[in-house]
Structure 1
């Protein structure tokens, strides 16, 4: 827990220190930000107990967007939280109320066996317990105001949460990915996430700029944990977003476009990791980022195809 009652919870999705949920505690009441998958629910409830709260003390579950590593466990968790309401972007609300399309889409990509292994059962959330967060939506956690702002770029159903008490953002995937294995004496290493299917580079840069305007002291990333020095990291993200767009353009039209995208993204991130002074060798960096390189390549391909239409 930090000085402002913010607890980082490892959801254990995929690997250790890959996927975080957050618990904000204020005057005996709590709010979760993101929740991982249904497999994560016991960990979130254990973190709640460790913080001295009962499930009845949770007022809010805020899901930054409805990708399954952030919100797949929302229905299962809400079933354990009798007084909580789910706060979701207007574009994502229907997927939480009726997750059939979400399940079908993910199953088509991963297959039923992998869906069960990675995500578990995806349960609906009763519509009566859903609060839609339009841009600028404000809510109170025992008098502590949380502000939701619309932050497209990674997904059109994404918002970020500003906590004025701690002067920090809960950024979902809008402020990129930063794994602690890649930290160096220069601080956190960050890369953008362009995972399928709604990457929009200019919108993403604009969303990052909106967050910087609040002069944040910390950014709480779902992947993974709190980072400082937001202005510097934002510049890193801007540079890489532009570089990723250039890579996408260069690979477009090739018969082996996906292979070109994967190879060029890996080269970009390895070069930046070396310049950052990451302690891991190239194979280690590649191992940490392997899944994200693949997803970013897929997302860039979706963007190219959509842009062409």
Structure 2
């Protein structure tokens, strides 16, 4: 049976941005409701050691950090619901007066005076079986997050765009050597970035090649190398490495909001510079769903705080 719930603040997504928004919203007595979506905790649930979140002297586990954020949000008064939004009405005749309408997988309907979208983004993967098995054990999609663990080791970066080149250059500050693997014979990155990469003595490039498999071994099982194939000659080879970074882009989780919110060419929600405000007053975006530059847990949490504070101000101004 369908139930209808009314709230001042609906938060969609349960990563660092969503949970932080819930904490600040609850402390402002907004009585926020957070819908977790399909992956409570976001990308940190598949991150083992987290060393760059302030406040912890030793590395912490990503899933544990998300559990703590969820408990903190509950303790200050946020309601956390295991449900996913399947349809929303932010504009047009289906929107009801001051309320935005959200339909969920459970069949329930939420009417919200403000909403914070914190649905995140997902890294694009190669589609290899070994990728999922070895995530956190030598396979990563974030050099800024995990590069520190590869000090003095050999790593590979897969991709040829700005993200791949930036990741490779960042890794040269930690790794002993970085190999960039690209399926074409030229890079798509900006020319200045290409020059920096190709002139760096710690970087080599393998052109016209794809990864056919990620090799592993040891106890615990970890990445030991890559099986490569040249797409022009079909020649096969192996590359001995300690870690591989997949840098072929991210997909923001914004399909629900197409034709309602302003999105950029890559599908990220466009927000006003320096704010979480979207193209619709009362709708805010926080975290990786609108941030394709930093994509860190701490920046996501910060933008979740900003979104909650701005949502509170929005309510105050219309009352």
The reply to whether TM is greater than 0.5 is: no
Which structure shows the higher strand fraction? 2
Normalising by structure 2, what TM-score? 0.28
Normalising by structure 1, what TM-score? 0.28
Higher relative contact order (CA 8 A, sep 6+): 2
Which structure shows the higher helix fraction? 1
